[in-house]
Amino acid sequence: MDVAVEQTIRERIEMEKARTAPPDDAIAVPLIPATRYTNPDFFELEMQQIFHRNWLFAGHESEWAEPGAYQLFTRSGAPIVIVRGQDNVLRAFYNSCRHRGAPVTRDVCGVAKRLTCQYHSWSYDTQGKLKAVPDSRSFVDLDTDDLALVPVRCEVWQGWVFVNEDSEADSLVNFLGPICEQMLDINGPGMRRVGRQIHRVEANWKLMVDAFLEVYHIRTVHPDNAALLYDDQSVTVSMLPNGHSRLTTEKREELRDFPMVSDQYDNPSVGLLWRQTSTSFGIFPNLVVPMDTGAFTFLSMWPVDQRTTELELNWFAPEWQGDEVPEEHLQRLELFDTVMAQDKANMAPIQASVESPGAQPFQIGWHERLIHHFQRAVDLSIGPDLLPAGTAVSTALDSYVER
């Protein structure tokens, strides 16, 4: 991480711990309409304008370990297949045969030289080109060059794979902006998958994202784990471009320099700041990455419907020897499960309350402003002119975005 950025974060931590009133530059955070979490029209706009038009996390490049390796990706609502070509390039296509629309693979993952439709056996190579058409004699003027699989944007940054259905979208690197430099310390190319956990939560996906953009709740919801480790009075946040964010909370003094990972599985590329704090990055629209020196997770909040979310935790760690996942990493997953159980128990009742006649616009504090920043990015991604009446958030915090 840039020395100046690290110094700024440390200075802000000290200022946060010392203050007894809102900072001089703080303003009252404008209200957030509760109907954003319940309006079915708003939800449909989110699915079309956000999840079909933004970069979505799909995995780590090591999961496509060899040419011909493929995986299905359906989280945006569209069937997509991501495949490593024989030229070693990762590409994505709609999983739809150009003949009559059947899937070119029904397997969740695998390795193949060809993707072959199981309806009429049209066959495509790993670069999406149509290679074989049974009974081609019956097709007049068949132009196979014009019948390749329909591509989907797929780009890799530091080993992390993202897809985007918007062919006109900015590049992944430009979209991520300063996060590209600030997350370099994790050494993405040297990572390997540890495991995956999926939790179904009866709450709107934005309520789930909101919960990971503040630590105000940890003394109440996580008194026996996170609250013991982190000083919530030290939290410092940054509103970054495109709805992204950074949140840093200092570890309590007595635990600040206590090693949380054994030397054997420690990530040597991680600097001192990340070791002495919990620093997480919010990547719009639905990804939160709490950095750590050992196994750590990419948390994705995937909407199922307007009141149901699948929270997907993809765990990674620095490369290790052998096929078996180290027990130390598995213990980290088990520990985090206790935190997730507390969050799950908290979220469903919140959704019920938000849906009740007594629900009022949310009054959040300055230390929770990343929530407003995220919600404002939702509005911008949908398009302000398309928002249902009474659902928009204010533009008042736009000038606080750190360019």
54-80 mean pLDDT: 97
Are 118 and 234 contained in the same domain?
A: no
The two beta strands, 56-60 and 109-111, are: unpaired
d(CA 191, CA 89): 19
Are 22 and 83 contained in the same domain?
A: no
Query: Which residues constitute the domain of residue 30?
Result: 3-53+177-400
Domain boundary among 128, 158, 188: 158
Q: Which tens digits make up the pLDDT trace of 303-338?
A: 999 999 999 999 999 999 999 999 999 999 999 999
d(CA 391, CA 379): 9
d(CA 101, CA 97): 5
Are 38 and 139 contained in the same domain?
A: no
Are 342 and 291 contained in the same domain?
A: yes
Backbone angles phi, psi at 310, to 5 degrees: -100, 120
Q: Which tens digits make up the pLDDT trace of 173-183?
A: 999 999 999 99
The domain that holds 88 is classified in CATH as 2.102.10.10
Residue 138 resides in a domain:
yes
Q: Which tens digits make up the pLDDT trace of 84-140?
A: 999 999 999 999 999 999 999 999 999 999 999 999 999 999 999 999 999 999 999
Are 26 and 125 contained in the same domain?
A: no
pLDDT at 397 over 90: yes
* Average of per-residue pLDDT values in the chain: 96
pLDDT at 68 over 90: yes
207-214 mean pLDDT: 97
Residue 346 resides in a domain:
yes
Provide the pLDDT confidence category of residue 351 given band limits of 50, 70 and 90.
Answer: very high
Are 145 and 279 contained in the same domain?
A: no
Indicate the pTM of the whole model: 0.96
What's the per-residue H, E or C state across 21-65? CCCCCCCCCCCECHHHHCCHHHHHHHHHHCCCCCCEEEEEHHHCC
Provide the pLDDT confidence category of residue 1 given band limits of 50, 70 and 90.
Answer: confident
Say what the alpha-carbon torsion angle 232, 233, 239, 243 is, to the nearest 10 degrees: 20
Are 65 and 101 contained in the same domain?
A: yes
Provide the pLDDT confidence category of residue 165 given band limits of 50, 70 and 90.
Answer: very high
Q: Please compute Rg for the chain using Cα positions.
A: 23
pLDDT at 289 over 90: yes
Residue 170 resides in a domain:
no
Are 252 and 365 contained in the same domain?
A: yes
pLDDT at 403 over 90: no
Q: Which tens digits make up the pLDDT trace of 238-266?
A: 999 999 999 999 999 998 988 889 999 99
Give the model's pLDDT for residue 260: 86
Provide the pLDDT confidence category of residue 196 given band limits of 50, 70 and 90.
Answer: very high
List the structure tokens of 288: 């939160």
